[in-house]
């Protein structure tokens, strides 16, 4: 099986054959949005340039304003909190759970203040946090919930598709994701008012845009009196070429997700009763989509690099490390916010003082294994190498 197949190529050709004429422009994006909304059982899907822009637009749509607080986890790719800064709001970090590695309602509650406006949950590595609990808490405090599902396609919780819990959910088509178009992103929502804002704000605030119509038409602009911009907007709309690939991927979504689940299952078999490598905890009534397969290194007897180097020496592809916690990044620590730090909103926030105990414990201990093997034999081979690496240290350090 190939990651990019004939469908994607055919759709790309279709776009090119359309000569980017005004009649054809945006057709492929519209088809992608329709297919995505159907697949994800939601009313609206709005495509954009990437999964950071989608978060930014979701926050603007939620009415997040300069100086508001937005709660998010620190253990994630930093786009989650960077998008908050793009709105001139303040990222506030809530700790994750030590076993699921996910943000929890309990930790969110600890950092809610009168300035809180929204929560961004992250379905880290393909597994969603306990959304019912988070939605109950959000409702109690009148907060918007945006699901950052960049890494999570086709996961379930309580038999409900992940991405249908929050007010909006954001996805990425960046090249490492389950579905890819090289770059790209999409936001889903069931609310017409939110869909209209998502479209308007990501489409330069054009007057002719509404919840269904993503672009202005030729007729709109054939009058010198036409007033185009009714609100501040960004030019974040996805290109048709990108949508062509993403559409092919959406149509092949089930097989693309299955690839990752199978790879994860092979790794999982190799863990057996090993006590010092602990997989991400999948709570009852959750179905994981395994963007990556992650283990916590629970021993002082084997170092992270030592484990990774042995895995590679035995033929393994490599092991990714978890990102630095967002607040540990120099941009946050030193508040290099392109002069937003001078606005006064950030004066009482010192990211050098933030300490999320579980996230700090986890970050240096996580081992992320690739799951995008489109050849089953290779997936099995990589898993067997993991098994051999475990055996090696069991023998060498007497850890059985």
Ligand X SMILES: Cc1ncc(COP(=O)(O)O)c(C=O)c1O
Q: Is residue 61 part of the contact set for ligand X (CB under 6 A)?
A: no
Site string for ligand X, 155-174 (x = CB under 6 A): -----------------x-x
Q: Could you tell me the smallest distance in angstroms from the CB atom of residue 389 to ligand X?
A: 26
Candidate residues 35, 57, 58, 77; the one interacting with ligand X per rule CB under 6 A: 77
Size of the site for ligand X (CB under 6 A): 14
Nearer to ligand X, 184 or 233 (CB): 184
Stretch that binds ligand X, among 20-28, 147-155, 192-200, 358-366 (CB under 6 A): 147-155
Of residues 80-139, which lie at the interface with ligand X (CB under 6 A)? 80, 122
Candidate residues 56, 57, 76, 354; the one interacting with ligand X per rule CB under 6 A: 76
Stretch that binds ligand X, among 73-81, 136-144, 310-318, 355-363 (CB under 6 A): 73-81
Q: Could you tell me the smallest distance in angstroms from the CB atom of residue 260 to ligand X?
A: 14
Nearer to ligand X, 80 or 270 (CB): 80
Nearer to ligand X, 50 or 263 (CB): 50
Nearer to ligand X, 64 or 77 (CB): 77
Of residues 31-50, which lie at the interface with ligand X (CB under 6 A)? 50
Stretch that binds ligand X, among 76-84, 109-117, 256-264, 366-374 (CB under 6 A): 76-84
Q: Could you tell me the smallest distance in angstroms from the CB atom of residue 50 to ligand X?
A: 4
User: Which of 126, 137, 132 is closest to 76 using CA atoms?
Assistant: 126
Nearer to ligand X, 122 or 297 (CB): 122
**What is each CA distance from 115 to 64, 92, 137, 140, 141, in whole angstroms?**
10, 10, 15, 15, 11
Q: Could you tell me the smallest distance in angstroms from the CB atom of residue 359 to ligand X?
A: 14
* Rounded Cα–Cα distance for residues 279 and 76 (Å): 17
Nearer to ligand X, 151 or 211 (CB): 151
Rg from Cα positions in the chain: 22
Interaction site with ligand X (CB under 6 A): 50-52, 76-77, 79-80, 122, 148, 150-151, 172, 174, 185
């Amino acid at each position: 099986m190939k990651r990019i197949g004939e469908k994607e190529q055919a759709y790309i050709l279709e776009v090119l054959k359309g000569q980017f004429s005004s009649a054809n422009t945006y057709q492929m994006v519209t088809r992608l949005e329709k297919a995505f909304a159907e697949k994800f059982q939601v009313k609206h899907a709005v495509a954009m340039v990437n999964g950071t822009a989608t978060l930014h637009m979701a926050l603007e749509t939620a009415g997040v304003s300069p100086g508001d607080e937005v709660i998010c986890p620190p253990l994630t790719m930093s786009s989650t909190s960077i998008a908050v800064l793009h709105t001139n709001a303040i990222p506030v970090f809530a700790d994750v759970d030590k076993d699921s590695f996910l943000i929890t309602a309990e930790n969110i509650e600890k950092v809610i203040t009168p300035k809180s406006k929204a929560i961004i949950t992250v379905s880290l590595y393909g597994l969603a946090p306990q959304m019912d609990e988070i939605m109950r808490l959000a409702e109690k405090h009148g907060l918007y919930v945006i699901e950052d599902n960049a890494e999570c396609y086709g996961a379930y919780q309580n038999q409900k598709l992940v991405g249908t819990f929050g007010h909006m959910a954001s996805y990425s088509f960046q090249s490492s994701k389950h579905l890819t178009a090289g770059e790209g992103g999409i936001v889903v929502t069931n609310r017409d008012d939110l869909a209209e804002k998502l479209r308007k704000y990501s489409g330069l605030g054009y007057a002719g845009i509404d919840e269904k119509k993503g672009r202005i038409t030729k007729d709109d602009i054939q009058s010198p009196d036409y007033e185009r911009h009714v609100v501040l907007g960004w030019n974040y709309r996805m290109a048709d070429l990108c949508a062509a690939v993403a559409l092919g991927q959406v149509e092949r979504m089930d097989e693309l997700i299955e690839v990752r689940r199978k790879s994860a299952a092979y790794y999982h078999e190799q863990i057996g009763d090993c006590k010092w490598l602990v997989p991400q905890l999948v709570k009852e009534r959750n179905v994981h989509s395994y963007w990556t397969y992650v283990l916590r290194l629970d021993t002082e007897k084997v170092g992270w690099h030592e484990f990774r180097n042995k895995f590679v020496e035995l033929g393994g592809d490599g092991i990714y490390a978890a990102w630095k916690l967002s607040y540990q990044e120099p941009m946050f620590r030193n508040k290099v916010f392109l002069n937003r730090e001078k606005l006064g909103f950030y004066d009482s926030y010192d990211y050098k003082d933030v300490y999320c105990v579980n996230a700090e414990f986890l970050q240096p201990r996580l081992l992320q294994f690739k799951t995008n093997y489109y050849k089953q034999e290779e997936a099995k081979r990589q898993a067997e190498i993991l098994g051999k690496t475990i055996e090696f240290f069991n023998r060498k350090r007497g850890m059985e």
